[in-house]
Amino acid sequence: MTDTEILEDIKKIISKDYAIPPEHIEEDSNLDEDLNITDLEIEDLVAKIEEKYDIQVPQDKIPSFIKVSDIVNYIYENVDTAL
């Protein structure tokens, strides 16, 4: 699984759950400022990501997810890329 595939998956999840058109979601989009996703919604997003990718994200890691790319990079580094 490539980082581009992960980005597309994340864009689909954000678009579906937060009613944001996928074309408005970029890798460098700021979750709070650009996409208006609150801290509580980020936790919900992380829960969906954990389920989809069968990973556990430590609670202390969540505040470091500022941009979409932060989530993509974390998944890329922590998921078995053979999936």
Q: Where exactly are the structural domains of the chain?
A: 3-78
pTM metric for this prediction: 0.91
Cβ within 8 Å of residue 41, ≥6 positions away: 18
Q: Which pLDDT score, from 0 to 100, does residue 82 have?
A: 46
Q: What is the DSSP letter of 60?
A: G
CATH for 3-78? 1.10.1200.10
Q: Which pLDDT score, from 0 to 100, does residue 81 have?
A: 52
- Distance, first Cα to last Cα, the chain: 6
The letter for the amino acid at 32 is D
**DSSP state string for 15-26:** HHHHT--GGG--
The pLDDT tens digits along the chain (83 residues) read: 899 999 999 999 999 999 999 999 999 999 999 999 999 999 999 999 999 999 999 999 999 999 999 999 999 999 875 44
